[in-house]
Structure formats: C-alpha cells, structure tokens
Chains A and B, each alone.
Chain A
Amino acid sequence: MSLSFKTQLFAVFYVALTAIFIFFMVSDQYRSLSQQNLAALETFLIQQKQQELKNYTEIAMASVDSIYASSAKDDPMKQKQVADILSTLIYDGDDGYFFVYHEDGTSVVHPTEPYRVGQNFLDLRGQNGEPTIQILIENAKNGGDYYRYFWNQPSTEQITEKISYSRFFPKWKWMLGTGVYLDSVNEQLQTIQNAIDQQVDSTRLTILIITLSAIFLIFGFGIVVNFTQKKETEEKIHALDQKIIHIQEEEQRHISRELHDGIVQMLVSIKYSLEATGLVLKQKAIEKPEPLAKAEKNLVNTIGEIRRISYHLHPTILDELGLSDAMEQLGIEFSERTGIAIHINKPALRKLLPDPINTTLYRVVQESLVNIEKHSHATLATIDLEVKDDWLTLTICDNGIGNTNIKKEGQSSHKGIGIRNLAERIEYHNGVFNIDAGADGTTVTAKIPKSAFVNHYNRQQSHQRRSINE
C-alpha cells in the first residue's frame, strides 16, 4: 500500500468522523430547540384555551344569574330552569358544553351524556388515579381553577386530554364546569413537530450528500494522483532499464577493448619475441626447436580466440568505422554462415550517430538476422540504412514465411536480447520500432529522429581537434 493511499484513507476517515459529529450535533441542537419552542407554544395555546374557558363560563353564569340570584337555597323549579338553559349552551361544535355536579358528586347537567344525570360520580377516578369530580368541585369552591384530565370526547368518541374550568354556585352547592379538548392543540403541535422533523431530515440529507461527495472527491483525487505517480514510476523504471543496458554495453565495450588493445597486443609482442628467438637461433645455424614452433602456433590460436571473444562482447569495427561497416560485416558473416543471400544499402556518410544509438541499431540488425536465420526460411535478406525526411531509418527485411511469433520469440529468447527490449531501446531515443510480418516476409523497421544525432559528427570532430591541439 502506497503512502498516498494511507493518507487518502485517513482523509476519508477524518471526513466521515466530522460528518458523523456534525450530523449528531445538528440533530441534537434541532431537537432541543424544537422542544423549547414547542413547550413555549403549548403554554401559550393552553393559556389561550384557559382564557376562552373562563370567558365561556362567565357568559354561562351571566345567562343564568338572574334566575339564580332570585332563587332560594332550595328551589327545584329554578334549578330545573337553570339546568335546562345550561344544557342548551353548546359551543365549538359538539365538544363545547357545560356540566353541573352537585357537591355530593351527583351529576345534574350533562348534555352530551344525559344518562349520567342523577348518578353519583364522586369517586370517579381518571387515568392517573385522581378523583376527577372531587378535584373539579374543589377548584370550584376555591373560586374557580383549571384542571387537566382525560375524558371521552363527543365528536370523536375517544378518550382525549381535556382542560376544564369550574365555578361554584354556593347557594345550591353546584359546581358548574366546562372544558375544551386539547386534541386541536396537540394536532397543531404535532404539525409543527413534523415540520421540524422534516427540516432535520433534509439537513441530515444535505450533510450526507456533502460527506459522500467529499469522500468521492478524495478518492477521485487519490486515483488521479496514484495514476500520475504510477506513470512517473514506470518512466523511472524505464529510464533505469535503459541505464542498465547502457552500462552493460559500456562495460562490454570496455572489456572488449581491454582484450583487443591490451591482452592481444601483448600476445602479439610475445609472438614476435618468439619469432626473434627463432631468428637468433637461425643466425647461429641452430634448427628451431619443435616446442618453440608449437608455442608460436598456439599463440596465434590463442590470439584468434581472444579476438573472437572480444568481437562478441563489442565489435571494434562499430567504433572504428561506424554502423554501416559494422552491419556489413555482420551481413557478410551471416550470409557465409546461413547461405542466405544478403543485400546491404549504406549511406554515403558515416559515424553520424552517438555511441548509444549506434550500438542499439547494431543490436537491432544482430537480433533481426538471428530471427531470420532461426525462423524465416528466407533466401534473401536486405539491410537498408538511410537518412531521409528528418529520420534515420534502418530496415531489415527478408522474403521468408513471415513469422508472426517473432515478438513472442524475441521476448522468451534467452540467447538473444529480445525484440521487445530492442523496441524499448529504440523508443528511449525517441525512435519508432515496428515489426511487420506478412505472408511475403518480415520487415523490421527502426527509425531515429534526425534531432537525436544532428551535428554529432561535427561536434566530435571539433572535440578531437581540440584534444589534439592540447
């Protein structure tokens, strides 16, 4: 795993963590804020309802006040009259009605549930276990107050939270009450709660989208960076490959030169010393001893062997005479060895190329000839080298069977350098490498742009002149 991938993961982790934190914080803030607001709103709405109740009650009391004021302590006639009036006072649909209970808990007025009238409900207890009627009576006796409890709602036939206000008729020991059901308030609050929840959800969604896009962005960026890095790495590896090849070629050239110009020359000098010894003996009229003659002969063989090794490491002719002569030598050897006729076209100028290009093109010729010999069944091969239209073009073609496996062969060949390797070497010099294997033979083309070698010969010459003058 590359360092950049780790960094990427860390960034994603960090973004995700931040997002989760913001997500929960926003949710929490929203919730507490909405709870505060809702509570305030609820208080306000309830207060409104309470004021309403108080007003309704005042109206109801005012409507029966003349009868009550003129009545005695116990006046069933007037009580009946008041009960009838109160029964007819309905507001707010079916849910706004007045009820009356006697101090002892007997229901006197109950327009929506008339069956209750006459029955005693002093010990009636609500959902929370409180004695509902007792509390209402107590509130009434204390000069009027509010009480929240649960009661059957006429319009929906359901047990609903209700708030009631009650007042006391001391003469008759009556408790007059009326209440509103809080379902509308709760509905209103619920609507607001829903609106808030929706807002929270949409905020959460926004956070999620931002987070996801941030993560995608990080990954996308990572991919681009990785891709660029990979490309850079590949280029570096490529350059390193070429450097290794270059060093290898240089090393081979060096050893080849050491052998040819060092060891071989020493052996030649030894050979002449042996010959001189022979001449000395001859002067003294002594016949040349056989071991001496044998040594001379062996020495010549040894020189030949070392020269062969040197040539295979790096042909001196490439440095001394240039590419075209070197490839001609290759061609002649090839023709002698294989019996395949060869035709070579050389340019009029020579030594135009810098050493690395020179060696690379020489290896192209070498490898191509090996392939022709091994696979082509050709009878004629042509090597063509020319500078034209700003390109130096080397073409090696044969009239063989056009081996389409040549690329694979080049790759797997252990002895040869490999065609693929050569293609890379040519491309390294900004050149173009191509193999065209058809039914009428194979053509290998290696092209080097003129810009890669222009003026090289002239520079080399002036460099030589300078070193001579020094």
Chain B
Amino acid sequence: MNKTIKVMLVDDHPMVQDGLSSCLSFYDDIEIVGVVNDGNNALSEAIEKQPDVVLMDISMPSLNGLDATEILKETLPQTRVLIFSMHDSKEFVSTAMRVGASGYVLKDTHSEEVYHAIKTVASGNSYFSSSVAKALMDSPNEQVDNRLTTREQVILGHIAGGKSSKEIANSLCISTRTVDAHRRNIKSKLEIDNLAELVRYAIDNGLVAE
C-alpha cells in the first residue's frame, strides 16, 4: 500500500480531467501518469505508461470506454479499469463488468469516494458506487448472459467473412490465442459447436451479408 498508484485518466472533456486531477492531486499515494481524450489513445498510451488503474469514461468519440476496456484487457490483463461515467443504469454497469472492468463510479460522486475507489480497485478488489450497486441488486433478472460483447461480435463478423484465427489476430493486432479464446466464448454463448453453423448464425441475424 506504500507504493504510489499510477493512474491514467481517459475522458474526452478536458475540464472534467482538470477538475478531477486537481482533487486527486491532494492525495500523495496517487500519481496521474497520463491524461487522454478517447479510447484509441487510451490503448496506445496505456501500453507506454503501464498504469495500475485506468479511470475510463464511457461516452467518447470513436471508440467508447466499454469497447476500449475490452480491448485494453486483452493486451494488459493486469491493468485495472475503473469506469468513471455519468451513466447510472444497470445495462451500462453489467456491460462494464462483462468487458472486464473492476469497478464503476459515477461522475457525480465525491472526489473522496473516487480516491477510495481507485485504492480499492488497485488492491485487487471491485468497487461500485452505492447507487450503481443498488441498480445491480434491484434486478435479479440477470440470468446467464449469453449476449456477445463488442469484441466477440467483431470476431464473429470476421469468422463469417471467412477469415482464419491468424488473419483475425493480425487484423486486430492481438495474439491468435486470444482470438481462439474469444472463439470458444462465442461458441459457448451461442451454443454452437461448428464453424458452418456459426457462419449461418451471423448471416441469419444480418450481421454479415449472404
């Protein structure tokens, strides 16, 4: 716990970054190593700066925070992502969990709580703002979620387009092993075990053209 936590802020609004930075600067055990304004920059910057915690906004131009989180976790699985968003509905929170975020705080929470959340997430635990946690608790509707994540859906599109795992890996700049892991997940979620059916599924659902 004596170690300084390296934090990266990802938010498309500089005023928010400034405001939060100035608040967090009062805490000695947090160091802000990077400030970027969209998902794509977050990916490259994270590889360079190797932060412990990424404070990730959701609504951003081009790549949104949730999709960025999923991709970030592929390459930097040890990096903890704390979603920092204005959205408080259950669907955002559950999606955040599905793509590998470790916590979720709302932008209108007090900076002290944000600090606390960063500390909690960095220590390997999860942290959810109280209102967010309530949203999750209130809907026991959460059966086994068989919905594909953005990344899985993109890979399904490539598979249906006739690409091999290696080709997909090259085009997405990830390892073949990662692609294969996604492939397994897709198959288990859709309860499909062969390639032909996978392609048929993508066509039937209008994901790709016939």
A interface list, Cβ under 8 A from B: 260-261, 264-266, 268-273, 275-276, 279, 283, 300, 303-304, 307, 316-317, 320-321, 324-326, 328-329, 332, 336, 344, 346-352, 387-388, 392, 450, 453-458, 461, 464, 467-468
CA distance A387 to B200 in the complex (A): 13
Question: Of B22, B86, B141, B210, which one neighbours A307 at CB under 8 angstroms?
Answer: B86
CA distance A349 to B204 in the complex (A): 11
- Tell whether, in the assembled complex, residue B91 and residue A329 are in contact, meaning their CB atoms are under 8 Å apart: yes
9 other A-B residue contacts (CB within 8 Å) besides A272-B16, A336-B138: A260-B59, A261-B59, A271-B19, A273-B19, A275-B112, A317-B91, A332-B139, A350-B148, A455-B207
- Tell whether, in the assembled complex, residue A461 and residue B86 are in contact, meaning their CB atoms are under 8 Å apart: no
Collect the chain B residues with CB atoms within 8 Å of residue A450's CB. 206
Shortest Cβ distance from residue B112 to the other chain A in the assembled complex, whole angstroms: 8
Considering the complex, which residues of chain B in the window 1-29 have a beta carbon less than 8 Å from any beta carbon of chain A?
A: 11-13, 15-16, 18-20, 22-23, 26
- Tell whether, in the assembled complex, residue A352 and residue B207 are in contact, meaning their CB atoms are under 8 Å apart: yes
Asked whether B64 is an interface residue with its Cβ less than 8 Å from the other chain, the reply is yes
- Tell whether, in the assembled complex, residue A387 and residue B13 are in contact, meaning their CB atoms are under 8 Å apart: no
A468 in contact with B157 given A317-B89, A347-B205 (CB within 8 Å): no
A276 in contact with B19 given A320-B92, A348-B148, A348-B189 (CB within 8 Å): yes
A265 in contact with B15 given A349-B153, A454-B206 (CB within 8 Å): yes
- Tell whether, in the assembled complex, residue B86 and residue A264 are in contact, meaning their CB atoms are under 8 Å apart: yes
Q: 20 A-B residue contacts at CB 8 Å?
A: A261-B12, A265-B11, A265-B13, A266-B13, A268-B16, A269-B18, A271-B19, A272-B18, A272-B23, A273-B22, A303-B86, A317-B89, A317-B92, A321-B95, A344-B141, A351-B150, A387-B206, A458-B157, A461-B157, A468-B62
Asked whether B190 is an interface residue with its Cβ less than 8 Å from the other chain, the reply is yes
Which residue of chain A lies nearest to B16 when distances are taken between CB atoms in the complex? A269
A269 in contact with B207 given A320-B64, A458-B157 (CB within 8 Å): no
- Tell whether, in the assembled complex, residue A275 and residue B62 are in contact, meaning their CB atoms are under 8 Å apart: no
CA distance A264 to B166 in the complex (A): 44
CA distance A351 to B64 in the complex (A): 14
Collect the chain A residues with CB atoms within 8 Å of residue B110's CB. 275
- Tell whether, in the assembled complex, residue A348 and residue B63 are in contact, meaning their CB atoms are under 8 Å apart: no
Collect the chain A residues with CB atoms within 8 Å of residue B73's CB. none
A-B complex: 6 closest residue pairs judged by Cβ atoms: A272-B19, A269-B15, A325-B91, A265-B13, A269-B19, A455-B209
CA distance A307 to B12 in the complex (A): 18
Which of B150, B153, B205 gathers most chain A CB within 10 Å?
B205
A352 in contact with B205 given A273-B19, A276-B19, A457-B157 (CB within 8 Å): yes
Shortest Cβ distance from residue A392 to the other chain B in the assembled complex, whole angstroms: 7
CA distance A265 to B147 in the complex (A): 31
Collect the chain A residues with CB atoms within 8 Å of residue B63's CB. 464, 468
Question: Of B23, B87, B147, B204, which one neighbours A346 at CB under 8 angstroms?
Answer: B147
Shortest Cβ distance from residue B33 to the other chain A in the assembled complex, whole angstroms: 19
Collect the chain A residues with CB atoms within 8 Å of residue B112's CB. 275
**Tier of interface size on chain B:** 35 or more
Asked whether B169 is an interface residue with its Cβ less than 8 Å from the other chain, the reply is no
- Interface bits B175-210 vs A (CB < 8 Å: 1, else 0): 000000000000001100000000000001111111
Collect the chain A residues with CB atoms within 8 Å of residue B126's CB. none
Which of B58, B89, B147 gathers most chain A CB within 10 Å?
B89
CA distance A60 to B35 in the complex (A): 149
Collect the chain A residues with CB atoms within 8 Å of residue B130's CB. none
Question: Of B22, B64, B147, B210, which one neighbours A350 at CB under 8 angstroms?
Answer: B147
CA distance A349 to B202 in the complex (A): 9
Question: Of B58, B90, B189, which one neighbours A329 at CB under 8 angstroms?
Answer: B90
Asked whether B48 is an interface residue with its Cβ less than 8 Å from the other chain, the reply is no
CA distance A415 to B202 in the complex (A): 39
- Tell whether, in the assembled complex, residue A275 and residue B209 are in contact, meaning their CB atoms are under 8 Å apart: no
Shortest Cβ distance from residue B59 to the other chain A in the assembled complex, whole angstroms: 6
Collect the chain B residues with CB atoms within 8 Å of residue A273's CB. 18-19, 22
- Interface bits B57-89 vs A (CB < 8 Å: 1, else 0): 011001110100000000000000000001101
CA distance A279 to B58 in the complex (A): 27
Question: Of A264, A275, A348, A456, which one neighbours B190 at CB under 8 angstroms?
Answer: A348
- Tell whether, in the assembled complex, residue B16 and residue A265 are in contact, meaning their CB atoms are under 8 Å apart: yes
A272 in contact with B154 given A321-B91, A387-B204, A456-B206 (CB within 8 Å): no
Which of A264, A276, A332, A346 gathers most chain B CB within 10 Å?
A276
- Tell whether, in the assembled complex, residue B16 and residue A321 are in contact, meaning their CB atoms are under 8 Å apart: no
Considering the complex, which residues of chain B in the window 128-176 have a beta carbon less than 8 Å from any beta carbon of chain A?
A: 138-139, 141, 146-148, 150, 153-154, 156-157, 161
Collect the chain B residues with CB atoms within 8 Å of residue A348's CB. 146-148, 189-190
Question: Of A336, A346, A458, which one neighbours B207 at CB under 8 angstroms?
Answer: A458
Shortest Cβ distance from residue A460 to the other chain B in the assembled complex, whole angstroms: 10
- Interface bits B108-139 vs A (CB < 8 Å: 1, else 0): 10111000000000000000000000000011
